[in-house]
Amino acid sequence: MVIEYPFSRTTGPVIGAFLTGLRERMLVGSRGSDGRVHVPPVESDPLTGEAVSEIVEVGPAGEVTTWAWVNVPHAKHPLDRPFAWALIRLDGADTPMLHVVDAGSIDAMRTGLRVEPRWNDETEGSITDLACFVPVADGEDA
Amino acid sequence: MADLTLPAALRDVEAVRSVRTPARLDYRYTPGTATSRFLHAIEQKRIMGERCPVCRKVYVPPRGACPTDGVPTEEQVELPHTGTVTSFCVVNLQFYGQGMEIPYVSANILLDGSHLPIMHLIQEVQADKVRTGMRVEAVWVPDEEMGPTLESIKWFRPTGEPDVQVDIPGEDHGTGLGSWVGGSPPEDPRAAQTHGGDA
Amino acid sequence: MGKERVAVVGVGQTKHESTRGDVSIAGLVREAAGRALADAEMTWTDIDAVVIGKAPDFFEGVMMPELYLADALGCVGKPLFRVHTAGSVGGSTALVASQLVQAGIHERVLTVAWEKQSESEAMWALSLPIPFQPPLHAGAGGYFAPHIRSYIRRSKSPDHIGALVALKDRRNALKNPYAHLHEPDITFDSIRESLMLWDPIRYAETCPSSDGACALVLGSESVATAAAAAGRKPAWVHGTAMRSEPTMSADRDTVLPLGGALCAADVYRQAGITDPRRQVDAVEMYVPFSWFEPMWLENLGFAEPGDGWRMVEDGATALDGDLPVNMSGGVLSSNPIGASGMLRFAEAAMQVRGTAGEHQVDGAKLAVGHAYGGGSQFFAMWVVGSDKP
Amino acid sequence: MRDVAVISFAQSAHVRSEEDRNEVEMLMPVVGDVLGKVDMTMADIGFTCSGSTDYLAGQAFSFVMTLDGVGPWPPIQESHVEMDGAWALYESWVKIQLGEIDTALVYCYSKSSPGDLPMVMTRQLDPYTAAPLWPDAISLAALQARALLDAGKITVEQMAEVAARSRRSAMDNPNAQLAWDRGVDELLKAPETIAPLRRHDCPPISDGVAAVVLAADGAARDRVERPAWIRGIDHRVESMHLGLRDLTDSVSTRLAGEKAGVAGGDLDVVELHAPFTHQELVLRSALGLDDHKNVNPSGGALAANPMMTAGLVRIGEVADRILAGEAGRGVAHATSGPCLQQNLVCVLEGNG
């Protein structure tokens, strides 16, 4: 028995801005009432609950704040070879976002690693437009 | 909605308004003990209900529990393949995943010897000839198509016997459960324990 | 010890539409909640706890979506609670929220119920073929149509009653700016001429599928008294009740379910109502197929068994009748499933607060909100009044 | 507040896969057991509340059919939460506070085996930016474990000690699914599965059922000698977004623990709903129980982790020890959501 449905989700302006950014190969976050920038953008201010009013560009590079190494990917995972899940704090952001890092080997992964996005050839406005993050070639760790 | 300030690069491009997020999950079901017994019997062209040890009512298909008494129903009762239409509707709409020719009749059928109607199709009769109280019998799929599934009963058709009086809860209305006979509210059989009976 | 008083001090709802293409799930829910907070003159940070209700998670494909909504509803650091009692959920969610105040645990509780049916299709989620279970050959209408046929047979109702209810509700909806269906050209004849989907149910006698949300702010006696002093009338809760009965019992009456009648009897007892037809000023009941109005009129003690249809035929349930029913246009005009029950409760509150606008019943002081779900087996009701109980 | 106690607790044996029985058939014996222990029937119950989620069974309204298993006739006062049974207990406790009923039946069930549970759980995440990546529950827990290790708050040795102690305790629990006696050194020789987690750091996937009877005041004293009185109960939630949280702390648990009054006396027994080893360490710290000697004597969620059920089991395990006179005061905890997003804390005492 398979439960399968191509859910079609309307995004509203804030998530829509994030996904529009992805389509344009650009990363954005929301600025909260305390000035902190959250990526992906949140629709309401974490402190006051009021609607957010400002979307700002971040990244594209950032640093890994924590990570987990998957040796045997699941068929549903974004990558079909060993990879890392990571929380990545993009430059200009205060809070990290979840994505994957194609680092080749666990030995190449570490907290503080500088990474940058690798985009799909075609982008359509989806989190999966970001194929993955990869280590910055000659990046200096934060 | 508060105004949203966007970075310059996103102001003049068409905004994303929706996203498709396909999701597929695979489940492997097991039917449960009572349903397994029922389906194995169906495969042999036998309709097996189960009797509640407390209220003695017969449920088909059995779900393993008497919904009135909350106890397992384990006594097997073989039922005839005939029953009575207690109510029905005529369907004029093609439903997702259904391959029926319209109009068709979906009916509540009380199998003889059981106490709760099943829902099934009525065929081999014009839709506008189906009546509450009509006697019907099961029509099985060809032997080679028989399997441990309810679809082994293809549909029901009229037997030609005279209609019978339908007797289901509430039917007589004078003492219908849930009615406010004579303008007085129904008594809650559980009132004692809901108003601090122990306190 | 015992129950504290509780009142509705804020009401909000979204515009209900088949697809709310302009918002995310969080945006939809925040629209209703923000309006309820504004109505209560509160901000997100004033709220002590949030209670969320919705129908099956498969509708939107998000498992336990209240967890994702914790941020959007300003819940971080607060208690967040999720209710799911099938179609009655909007009502039972409001009841769970009101109990948190009645028990003296919280002073200000936000409760929200919602559905974004456009993310998938209800028909799809409801008819997932589960192996080994008897197939529903005709969806939800196919399940309820035989019950309606039994009602018609038992009550000897003429067959045009369903159309009269549909016409009344759709006309009421024209006065409700939030309603999904606004059909100014609808007539008795156009309803009678619409496709007979599940004989005896016609297309125009069925509810739509909507995106929408509803929110209430429930306040303690001191919160409500302060609101009243500031000129914002609270809707005092005079009684709450829930009842459930089995899906597949040989003992139950699916036309006039005992659970529904006991639920009504319980809530009237609490509210001191002995003659509901005369004492209640307005009723919002859960009517997804028009024929359920006469059935529920009987089940809830407003009419003798078999006579509910006469109230409809006599116009008693019209907006200017002696017992207006579904002033908002009802489920027949807006049906975001998970929110549908709370919308009934909200309309009852709006009526006794005098804030129902064009669909206001003049001088309504005592109103009933009703929701049901499952195979007519889950019931939730409340009675609200303009006077403190 | 009205005095309300757990007077009876029952659970099924928790197993990887209930092949033969459906949810109704799994539930009925446990409901019969929990009522039978205190010589009650449904006729004695004022309110019934259950916890479950449609996503485990892959069926909308699964709880509707399950309700038939308790025999709700004549009609009952009943509710359902799409949450762990611990929250169904909370709703029942609130309901009893209103003074109109004295007793409640709480039940919850889990049949996770039909689906791919770690992937099913991804459907809880933000549907726009996280769920489409299918980040399974174990990987998310591994991100939390790494954050704790990086912060120097825990060590892999401590994690292995939690695993070893829990599975050893489970050897005395006939309902446990995973029980063994292995040393920390042996455990740490195993490879990492999803680094930094090893297999021993993760819970089993379980099918199981649990039920509790609550009673107030005299109704409790009349039925059992030593009711397990609920002295405090509170629950709090945090952001779903891992990036918006301090993963090395459980702020919501700390807050719920303060509100529930955990610090109000010595504790004889603690049951924490920590599906992963590092989460027990986070929870201990949040509740001020870093050095407590009797945490998860049942083996905890590391020994059996039926979704929507393991939280109520924690309350039941503490209550059972109080009912039996083995403990005077205890704390139970339940969690929900990724990486301890939502937490409930309940303080129970034997002295009325």
* CA dist A103 → A61, A82, A132 (Å): 15, 8, 10
pLDDT score of B194? 47
Which residue, D48, D291, D25, is CA-closest to D158? D291
Is residue A12 within 8 Å of A24, Cβ to Cβ? no
Q: How far apart are alpha carbons A88 and A68 in whole angstroms?
A: 12
**Domain identity same for D11 and D148:** no
* Cβ-nearest to A5 among B6, B14, B23: B23
The two tokens of residue A45 are 């201010």
**Burial of A140: CB neighbours in 10 Å, binned 0-12, 13-18, 19+:** exposed
**Preceding amide of B61 cis, omega within 30:** yes
Is residue B45 within 8 Å of B53, Cβ to Cβ? no
For C203-222, the DSSP string reads GGGB----EEEEEEEEEEHH
- The full set of domain ranges for chain B reads 32-79, 81-166
Q: How far apart are alpha carbons B137 and A108 in whole angstroms?
A: 71
Length of chain D: 352
The two tokens of residue A53 are 């009013």
The two tokens of residue B50 are 């189960």
pLDDT score of C117? 87
**Burial of C354: CB neighbours in 10 Å, binned 0-12, 13-18, 19+:** middle
Domains along the sequence of chain C with CATH: 6-119+209-229 (3.40.47.10)
Instruction: Tell me the chain C residues in contact with residue D241 when contact means C-beta distances shorter than 8 Å.
Output: 71
Phi, psi of B37 (to 5 degrees): -60, -45
**Domain identity same for D47 and D151:** no
Band the pLDDT of B122: cuts 50, 70, 90: very high
Confirm whether D163 is domain-assigned: yes
Q: Which helix (H) or strand (E) holds B77?
A: strand B75-79
DSSP class of A50: P
Instruction: Tell me the chain D residues in contact with residue A7 when contact means C-beta distances shorter than 8 Å.
Output: 127
By the CB < 8 Å criterion, does D196 face chain A? yes
Q: How far apart are alpha carbons D305 and C77 in whole angstroms?
A: 26
Which residue, A98, A126, C69, is CA-closest to D135? A98
Band the pLDDT of B184: cuts 50, 70, 90: confident
For D96-132, the DSSP string reads HHTTS--EEEEEEEEE-TTS-HHHHGGGGS-TTTTGG
**Domain identity same for D188 and D321:** yes
SS3 A85: strand
Q: Which helix (H) or strand (E) holds A37?
A: strand A37-38
**Strands in chain D per DSSP E:** 4-11, 47-51, 78-81, 103-111, 192-195, 197-198, 207-216, 228-237, 269-271, 329-336, 342-349
- The full set of domain ranges for chain A reads 12-135
DSSP class of B114: -
Over the stretch D157-203, which tens digit does the pLDDT of each residue have?
A: 999 999 999 999 999 999 999 999 999 999 999 999 999 999 999 99
C30 and A5 within 8 Å at the Cβ level: the answer is no
Is residue D159 within 8 Å of D201, Cβ to Cβ? yes
Mean of per-residue pLDDT scores for chain A: 93
Q: How far apart are alpha carbons D6 and B117 in whole angstroms?
A: 40
DSSP class of D307: T
Is residue C243 within 8 Å of D75, Cβ to Cβ? yes
The shortest C-alpha distance from B71 to chain D (Å) reads: 7
B129, B130, B131, B134: CA torsion to nearest 10: 110
The shortest C-alpha distance from A92 to chain B (Å) reads: 14
B169 and C251 within 8 Å at the Cβ level: the answer is yes
* Residue of D2, D47, D80, D116 to mutate for C, most C C-beta atoms under 10 A: D80
Residues in Cβ contact with D238 at an 8 Å cutoff, skipping those fewer than 6 apart: C70, C76, C77, D245, D251, D252, D341, D342
Which residue, C244, C216, C252, is CA-closest to C113? C216
pLDDT at B98 over 70: no
**D190 or B184: which carries more pLDDT confidence?**
D190
D243 and A69 within 8 Å at the Cβ level: the answer is no
**C195 or B195: which carries more pLDDT confidence?**
C195
Q: How far apart are alpha carbons D303 and D161 in whole angstroms?
A: 14
Is residue A111 within 8 Å of D146, Cβ to Cβ? yes
pLDDT score of D274? 98
Q: How far apart are alpha carbons A9 and A19 in whole angstroms?
A: 12
* Cβ-nearest to D130 among A74, A76, A98: A98
By the CB < 8 Å criterion, does B88 face chain C? yes
pLDDT score of B193? 53
SS3 D187: helix
Task: Please report the number of interchain residue pairs, chain B to chain C, with beta-carbon separation below 8 angstroms.
Answer: 178
Q: Which domain holds residue D63?
A: 4-116+205-228
How many domains are contained in chain D? 2
Is residue D98 within 8 Å of D209, Cβ to Cβ? no
Q: How far apart are alpha carbons D277 and B133 in whole angstroms?
A: 63
**Domain identity same for D154 and D19:** no
Over the stretch A74-107, which tens digit does the pLDDT of each residue have?
A: 999 999 999 999 999 999 999 999 999 999 999 9
Query: What one-letter code names the amino acid at D176?
Result: A
Q: How far apart are alpha carbons C130 and B157 in whole angstroms?
A: 25
The shortest C-alpha distance from C222 to chain D (Å) reads: 18
pLDDT score of B175? 47
Residues in Cβ contact with B167 at an 8 Å cutoff, skipping those fewer than 6 apart: none
Is residue C282 within 8 Å of C367, Cβ to Cβ? yes
pLDDT at C132 over 60: no
Confirm whether D282 is domain-assigned: yes
By the CB < 8 Å criterion, does B199 face chain A? no
C44 and A50 within 8 Å at the Cβ level: the answer is yes
Q: How far apart are alpha carbons D337 and C310 in whole angstroms?
A: 52
C43 and A42 within 8 Å at the Cβ level: the answer is no
Residue found under tokens 């032997």: B143
Over the stretch C209-268, which tens digit does the pLDDT of each residue have?
A: 999 999 999 999 999 999 999 999 999 999 999 999 998 888 889 999 999 999 999 999
β-pairing verdict for C378-385 and C235-244: antiparallel
What CATH code is carried by the domain that includes residue D224?
3.40.47.10
What interface predicted TM-score (ipTM) does this complex get?
Answer: 0.95
Over the stretch D82-124, which tens digit does the pLDDT of each residue have?
A: 999 999 999 999 999 999 999 999 999 999 988 899 999 999 9
pTM: 0.96
SS3 C258: helix
Band the pLDDT of D340: cuts 50, 70, 90: very high
pLDDT at C128 over 70: no
pLDDT score of B1? 45
The two tokens of residue D191 are 């490879």
Q: Which helix (H) or strand (E) holds D292?
A: none
Confirm whether D123 is domain-assigned: no
Q: How far apart are alpha carbons B161 and B164 in whole angstroms?
A: 9
Q: What is the mean pLDDT of residues B109-130?
A: 93
**Domain identity same for D135 and D278:** yes
Query: What one-letter code names the amino acid at C37?
Result: L
pLDDT at D55 over 90: no
